[in-house]
Amino acid sequence: MSACEFESVEKCLESHLPEAELTEVQRILFGKETKKLDLPASAVEAASERDFELKGYRFDAVQEQLRPPRRIRVGLIQHRIVLPTDAPILDQITAMHNRIGELVEVAAMCGVNIICFQETWTMPFAFCTREKDPWTEFAESAEEGNTTRFCQELAKKYNMVVVSPILEREELHSTLWNTAVVISNSGNVLGKSRKNHIPRIGDFNESTYYMEGDTGHTVFQTQFGKIAVNICYGRHHPLNWFMYSMNGAEIIFNPSATVGALSEPMWSIEARNAAIANHCFTCAINRVGTEHFKSEFTSGDGKKAHHDFGHFYGSSYVAAPDGSRTPGLSRTRDGLLVVEMDLNLNRQISDKWSFKMTGRYAEYAEELTKAVRHDFKPKIVKE
């Protein structure tokens, strides 16, 4: 079986482990069991007709005496590109809009309040090629582009906050960015969050196209909670998650595009660790499928030139501050993950584990200020 046919670790464990062992393995691997969420039959039927996986889970919190529960639903969408990478650009974008429209409609049937799509969801992840033409043509204005207008319609129609990660063209400074546009459920653009860390690894030649983001660690106050967007490679940077959390994020989305050969063993750890360390929910989303490009490219590692990046392994999941997590979506199929969470869990876990309170941040700030200076002398004791 090839890596792109293997459906998921979860399915594999379920089919091969005896029930008693399976429960223990799941407890250790995934934490406290996430309960399945009852989803409407009409949504299940529509997902099956539209050929995508639909899964629902629930994170509960203890009922407090002074605060009512703050239950909300998030939706994570992972998908393949719809048309081949050499189809006309407008056709590719339109096909992707139509596909997402189908999934968001089902998310609405499931009562989703906040939906997030994968990184640069309107296009193939063509940054491996280093070609500018035609890929930069996919870039759009974050405020007035067709994709933002499309998402504004979805947001209004379904009373849903939409997080739409795109390739952004900022006309004012003639600059491209990798940006998540956050659209309020009123349909207004609430703001944008640009990718803070740009990879320089393997075929991820993104620095050819855009710079490190300049929007810092913005948090968006929505009707359903405070959210932030840490785009893809930023998940390897614990301080990046940390700063979104310091600004008050209750849910941090991590729209991504990453391939099996490179990052799969890290995938299930990083967003989950961030949820634990920062007393918040994290939502990791990855695209699926293998994307072929006409021109071949090399990875700068002496290996033969090739036409694809490898397999984008999906496996989108949500992690909670208590260390539990949902099973992932499939490694191979388009999917919608619907997760109900009680945001009161964040403070409950913070009061229990107190990572923020015990963090010694002032000391670190002082030491870091020294460590980044050119005249820094590491504190090493020698015999």
Mind telling me the catalytic residues?
119, 195, 232
Q: How far is the CB of 345 from ligand URP (least distance, A)?
A: 27
Distance, in Å, from the CA atom of 100 to the CA atom of 102, rounded to the nearest integer, reads 5
Q: Does 116 bind ligand URP (CB under 6 A)?
A: no
Q: Does 119 bind ligand URP (CB under 6 A)?
A: yes
Residue 225's beta-bridge partner residues?
Answer: 222
Q: Does 271 bind ligand URP (CB under 6 A)?
A: no
Q: Tally Cβ neighbours within 10 Å of residue 362.
A: 8
- Number of residues lying near ligand URP (CB under 6 A): 10
Distance, in Å, from the CA atom of 343 to the CA atom of 227, rounded to the nearest integer, reads 11
Q: How far is the CB of 155 from ligand URP (least distance, A)?
A: 25
Q: Does 232 bind ligand URP (CB under 6 A)?
A: yes
Tokens 């009123």 sit on residue: 186
Q: Does 257 bind ligand URP (CB under 6 A)?
A: yes
- Please, what sign has the CA dihedral across residues 36, 37, 42, 48? negative
Residues, the chain: 383
Is 55 or 287 the residue whose CB approaches ligand URP more closely?
Answer: 287
Q: Does 199 bind ligand URP (CB under 6 A)?
A: yes
Q: How far is the CB of 315 from ligand URP (least distance, A)?
A: 12
Q: Does 39 bind ligand URP (CB under 6 A)?
A: no
Point out which span in 58-66, 68-76, 250-258, 330-338 binds ligand URP (CB under 6 A): 250-258
Q: Does 263 bind ligand URP (CB under 6 A)?
A: yes
Is 263 or 268 the residue whose CB approaches ligand URP more closely?
Answer: 263
Is 158 or 210 the residue whose CB approaches ligand URP more closely?
Answer: 210
Distance, in Å, from the CA atom of 249 to the CA atom of 222, rounded to the nearest integer, reads 11
Whether residue 287 contacts residue 99, with contact meaning beta carbons closer than 8 Å, is answered with no
Task: Write out the two tokens for 283.
Answer: 């939502």
Is 113 or 178 the residue whose CB approaches ligand URP more closely?
Answer: 178
Is 228 or 232 the residue whose CB approaches ligand URP more closely?
Answer: 232
Whether residue 64 contacts residue 272, with contact meaning beta carbons closer than 8 Å, is answered with no
Task: Write out the two tokens for 344.
Answer: 């009161």
Q: How far is CA 332 from CA 149, 316, 321, 340, 341, in A?
A: 30, 11, 28, 24, 26
Q: Provide the binding-site residues for ligand URP, judged by CB under 6 A.
A: 119, 199, 204, 232-233, 256-258, 262-263
